[in-house]
Structure 1
Amino acid sequence: MLDDLKPHIADLRKRLINSVIALVIGFFVCFFFYEPILEWMMVPVEAVLPPNSQMVAVEVQETFFTALKVAFFSGFILTLPIIFWQVWLFLAPGLYDHEKKLVFPFVFFGTLMFLIGGAFAYYVVIPYGFEFLINFGSAVVTVLPSIGKYVGFFTKLLFGFGVAFELPVITFFLAKIGLVTDRMLKDYFKYAVVIIFIVASLLTPPDVLTQFLMAGPLIILYIVSIYIAKVFNPETDLDEDDDEDEEDDEDEDNEKK
């Protein structure tokens, strides 16, 4: 068994190494431009800061480590197509020839949906979320946000929304290889809604509006995923008959016992 896994482990290591090399190169490229990138990241919070307020660095090393965070996250976004490509190359040996041709749609739409999710977080969620947090109690205290904590929270939100918006792409891939159907997604819809709201509460600021701004699009994306599965791998009557036969067999076995 271990001998059968060795080629897959070796291939996984190769794909991870290639992804890390691309990420390191992207990191160093973005590190030289971290200042304009950081200014772009600060635009949403600066727009809602009270007058005479500004971002601050609480600790001496905070600015340097913030620059590293900015460069790493930007490098990740820059090398995202390469990372998706390496993921596909790892999965490709287990696919049919006609499925292997989906590499370019997978890389393109995977990258596109991540960017759309990040853009939604940047232009919609972050402004509303930070406006609530900063204005809450501003009559009593002066808000001086820490640049390090802000960047950490900013990158977590963008990454979370980017990953969440991959749902239609993942559904398309799983439907094409026959692992999910529209009926399956419909059956798990109510559980998916609960999970979506739990994830939204963990990734967004603690206010209901921001949580709905994340949960709402995710529910819509889940519904879109059901339609995608219906187009590329719909539940057939034959599948339903098979399920009924399996249930009948189980009932007969239970009666015999």
Structure 2
Amino acid sequence: MSKTSIDDQEMPLIAHLTELRKRLLRCTVAILLLFAGLFYFSQQIYALVAAPLRAYLPEGATMIATGVASPFLTPFKLTMMVALFLSMPVILHQIWSFIAPGLYKHEKRVAVPLLISSIFLFYGGMAFAYFVVFPIMFGFFASVTPEGVAMMTDIGQYLDFVLTLFFAFGVAFEIPVATFLLIWVGIVDVETLRKSRPYVVVGCFVIGMVLTPPDVFSQALLAIPMWILFEAGLICGSMVKKREGEFRGDADSSEPHPGDQPPASRP
């Protein structure tokens, strides 16, 4: 193989890596800028996140810090995670900018609303956990505390607990996007998912049982929204399948769209 042909094969890879590095740097800068702006308010941010638990602490009880550096490191960690969550639109935009040149027109028409909806669904899941699930959950924990036991939660353990729940509810609320993608890509069809509805409902309640306190009401607060979101994804997937012929017509067009050039072709 000649040196020229080798260079022709290496250049696209180099161009992709250069573009990927640029996108990653922008994501990192966005996170660091948000973190720098929020760090001054780290104590207030932690107090806000701890409010659902503190509202149910017994009179005179407080949260505690068992680690020497916990009073500093715990709010620091929380602020970094908040900066990461808030920078999600920027991160997803950079991901979109990286993959968009390689997509067809019909794929772009679907991908853009999909990215936007995934952002709002993730934030919606976190908000649902904070405003609905946390008060019920911590109220339940406070009510079952044995007599003679002081409820004094460590701030580090509390942060790890709520971050896990924030992420779990954020991901759980992405069910419509996942359902839509399964249908759109062709991994499963609408009829198969409809026939699997009983198993999906059972799975939602199993997940609710694992992620929430052991009471039926809390489990239903997660399972029922997950089921509704699954049905929403099923409806959206059915609507897209009805327009499949139109999308295939665009994809089979012999004239490539100017936006379909891969990143390697950029100057």
Tell me the matched-pair count.
Answer: 235
2:160 corresponds in structure 1 to 152
Where do residues 48-197 of structure 1 align in structure 2 (5 Å cutoff)? 48-102=56-110, 104-172=112-180, 175-176=183-184, 181-197=189-205
8 Å Cα contact 2:118-2:177 kept in structure 1:
yes
2:3 corresponds in structure 1 to none
Map Cα deviations across residues 32-68 of structure 1 (whole Å, 9 max, x no partner): 2212211211211111111111111111111222112
In 1, Cα distance between the equivalents of 2:186 and 2:173? Answer: 21
Give the SS at the match of 1:216.
helix
Q: Give percent identity, aligned residues only.
A: 35
**Cα distance change, pair 92–178 in 1 and its aligned pair in 2 (3 A):** farther
In 1, Cα distance between the equivalents of 2:140 and 2:76? Answer: 28
For 1:57, the aligned partner's letter is A
Give the SS at the match of 1:217.
helix
In 2, Cα distance between the equivalents of 1:215 and 1:61? Answer: 38
1:231 corresponds in structure 2 to 239
TM-score norm. by structure 2 comes to: 0.75
- Per the TM alignment, residue 205 of structure 1 is displaced from its structure 2 partner at its CA by 3.5
2:46 corresponds in structure 1 to 38
In 2, Cα distance between the equivalents of 1:28 and 1:184? Answer: 49
In 2, Cα distance between the equivalents of 1:177 and 1:7? Answer: 29
8 Å Cα contact 1:129-1:207 kept in structure 2:
no
In 2, Cα distance between the equivalents of 1:41 and 1:217? Answer: 23
8 Å Cα contact 1:181-1:233 kept in structure 2:
no
**Cα distance change, pair 184–90 in 1 and its aligned pair in 2 (3 A):** farther
In 2, Cα distance between the equivalents of 1:91 and 1:195? Answer: 33
**Cα distance change, pair 195–137 in 1 and its aligned pair in 2 (3 A):** same
In 2, Cα distance between the equivalents of 1:51 and 1:66? Answer: 24
Map Cα deviations across residues 69-126 of structure 1 (whole Å, 9 max, x no partner): 2112210221011122233234434421133245553343222111211111011111
1:252 corresponds in structure 2 to none
In 1, Cα distance between the equivalents of 2:133 and 2:141? Answer: 12
8 Å Cα contact 1:196-1:215 kept in structure 2:
yes
- Residue 18 (str. 1) matches residue 10 (str. 2): no
Map Cα deviations across residues 139-190 of structure 1 (whole Å, 9 max, x no partner): 2311001111112111211121112112223444555555554223224434
**Cα distance change, pair 7–125 in 1 and its aligned pair in 2 (3 A):** farther
* CA RMSD across the alignment: 3.0
Give the SS at the match of 1:233.
helix
Structure possessing the higher relative contact order (Cα contacts under 8 Å, 6 or more residues apart): 2
TM-score norm. by structure 1 comes to: 0.77
In 2, Cα distance between the equivalents of 1:191 and 1:233? Answer: 23
**Cα distance change, pair 234–104 in 1 and its aligned pair in 2 (3 A):** closer
Structure 1: which 5+ residue stretches go unaligned?
237-257
8 Å Cα contact 2:45-2:75 kept in structure 1:
no
8 Å Cα contact 2:180-2:234 kept in structure 1:
no
